Structure 1
Amino acid sequence: MSSSLWRPVSRFSRPLSKLPRRWSGSISQRPGSDRVRFPGAINSKFTTDMTFVNPANAPNIPTYRVMDSDGVLVDKSRKSIDVPKEEILTWYKNMLTVSVMDVIMFEAQRQGRLSFYMVSAGEEGISVGSAAALTPDDVVFAQYRETGVFQQRGFALKDFMNQLFANRYDNGRGRNMPVHYGCNYPRTHTISSTLATQIPQSSGAAYALKLQRLQNPDTPPRIVACYFGEGAASEGDFHAGLNIAATRSCPIVFICRNNGFAISTPTLEQYRGDGIASRGLGYGIDTIRVDGNDIFAVYEAMRKARNIALQDGGKPVLIEAMSYRVSHHSTSDDSFAYRARVEVEDWKRRDNPIIRLRKWLENEGLWNEDLERDTRDQLRKAVLKEFGDAEREKKPPLREAFGGVYEEVTEEAEAQMKELKRILETYPEEYDLRQFDEGINGL
């Protein structure tokens, strides 16, 4: 074969002198140096003391908090919370909305009116507080306990209910199971059931945002916020996602909800290290651990993390938010099979993000028992109204089950639609199509 025709395409086709150097340190080990200069061991000093590093001998990563469980600011010397009180009231009402909706929808599933549901009890402060520090253009990849993120970013009760009942107004067109929300704006990718898949996806999205700004510096600065639980951090996708973000310097904030349990597996059976935060340090990522029941701590940490993520063209940040899952994992779970009921009740009484913020509001003279009772009553009525409206709506047209994957419906899918229509027309008494929009004409 002619050498002019066979020419491998490679970045090494350029002269070696013109190749970009990704590692800024010295490649050679200079004589007399007191530290390692090899790539991969950054600034490590030589020693004659053979000591194995034991994590038990190192101090644990501290947990940042602003107010205690009584709603009192811990640091007496600090200024008041740098957020308008009207906005803080909105945070509280959003947490209440999620709490009220969770109770109603959990009961609805038990009544057989809903196939599945997951509540956020004990973690409302993490979702609402972190989302409050985001802009609508920031891109969110959530897991399935981030109802408060959607609520804080403007997802209406009607939107929640339409998705839960998979009716014709559902953004997902009825293709997903309940609590798998998503919307085009604010930028929020639809939730996936598969554990941790959103983590490497979010790193890729953050890298795309970085490239967009490199190509067009006038593009508004945006970050990706990726939510997951400590159980997802046991998946390989967690490590791949963080490593991608670190090596590519992506503008992303990872928010891990460490609520003590991955379904029925407690944290003590998941890992032996210092929580999830210690892993961020291992990947060279700016990391902080916060009290997840303190919405002020979560908000301030997320606001600072967003600023860090936008520095120097992009930097990943990891936030580990500590909380306790006071609810069952889902409506498919009975948590009292693997933990004591008294433990859960103790956490409900002792510490709760909603109760803690309510105490702060009461201390500031912004809330009282009458407002609490009236607001909960109003929210319950609003949820029940949207619940009833969404439940009565028809399902999407049957053809929606075949679209949305490719730009155009494939020949195979067209053939399947025709076969389904033939079966429905042949056995009309076997299938009730009145619940579907357009009935048989929906194919």
Structure 2
Amino acid sequence: MRGDHEQTGFPAGLTNAYWFAAFNALSYQMILGSPVVLYAKSLGASATVLGLLVGMMPLLVIFQIPAANHIERVGYKRFVYAGWGTRVAFIFAIALVPLTGGFLNATTQLALLMFLLFGFNLSRGISSAAWLPWITALVPVAVRGKFLARDAACVHMASCTTLVLAALCLGQQARSWQFALIFGFSALMGAISLSFLKKIPDAEPPGKPSASRVPVPWREIANYAPFRKLLRMNAAWAVAYGGLGAFTVAYLKAEAGMSEGAILLVTGMAFLGGLAGLAYFASRTDRLGSKPVLTFCLCLWNGIMLGWLALAARVVTPGFALVLFLELLMGFAYALVNMNNTRLAMLLAPVMGRNHFFALYSVVTNVTLGLAPVGWGLVIDAFGERQIRWQNLELNRFSFFFAGVLVVFVLTVVLCRKLDEPKARDMDELIRELLQSPQRLWLRLWPRG
């Protein structure tokens, strides 16, 4: 597409995408984040069930593969709007589940919750097939990094607000009606987000709907070398990151003894870390490239895992300040990995066949993200209550989990170094940039005269 390379500004009406992102985040953080994990935990969910609950959303993205064949016929906006509207209806139903405690036992409530989450995630998985191609068609190449940074900033601000509100609502000892209240809030925000989604300008798919039944060349798409390297790195990233959202919360509740409100507060603050990272790199990503930023952030993830491992192995006490610091770093690193992964996928996917490239990228990443928490949950449950002491270290179910995640993050760094990105700068230049920025700030603030 010629316009992709010539335009340097945003199309009219694209600001609605930021509003949609913000209200959508106000909605889905309640249903896919820490609040629903804590609610499932209150119903007696095991680590394996928590893994299934968290993994359901990315697993059902596999339906993007068949959905990609219908995007050009339906159109980007109609396709996304239909799926998002359906999932909002499921959120309204989920908000009623905590109120059924008078006539349903905890096991039945948990089963009902899982059933409704399946419907929510299925509609999301199908409709999200059109989102990346739509945005890629709308946003010129030269400003995609800037757009993604702003979009992610809206998501992080809204997510932080959501979890702080949830923390205030749930307090020290959450009751069923409080969970119903925050899920109802989620449904309302989801409904509002639809009004902004409808105002985002549509884009014409690059290919015309065809009656041809020529099969999609999935093997050739997967064997495109730069794209294959990105898929491998993302699969490793997904295995490492997949269980962290659920099992850091489970650790803080079961081992660190933190209340629901405190857990939601620290996990909400993680999004402030993400905002800091996005603010710093927003103007640098398009210039430096995604590969050096990904390498830096994945190295940072290794340091974060050492911190969680030290907590779980009882080398240090899980104080509120230390947990908050780790959550801020997690938010910082996650936001930048997510943004730069998306930017690199947009860069590497050719115009022709873009829908199918994005579908394969999303499916590989998300299916791995879905299977990872289930696998990690089985590992945690299989390890059980064993505690093995060695000098000042304790090997238990959570320290074993964090050690395993650390090993996978090391592999992810190795795979990241093999990525192909045209015009990406060296890692040395990023390090120089990181070292020089504080000096520039100091010189700017230093009193003169």
Q: Same fold (TM over 0.5)?
A: no
How does the TM-score come out when normalised to structure 2?
A: 0.23
Greater fraction of residues in strand: 1
Name the TM-score, length of structure 1 as normaliser: 0.24
Max Rg structure? 1
Structure (1 or 2) with the greater helix fraction: 2
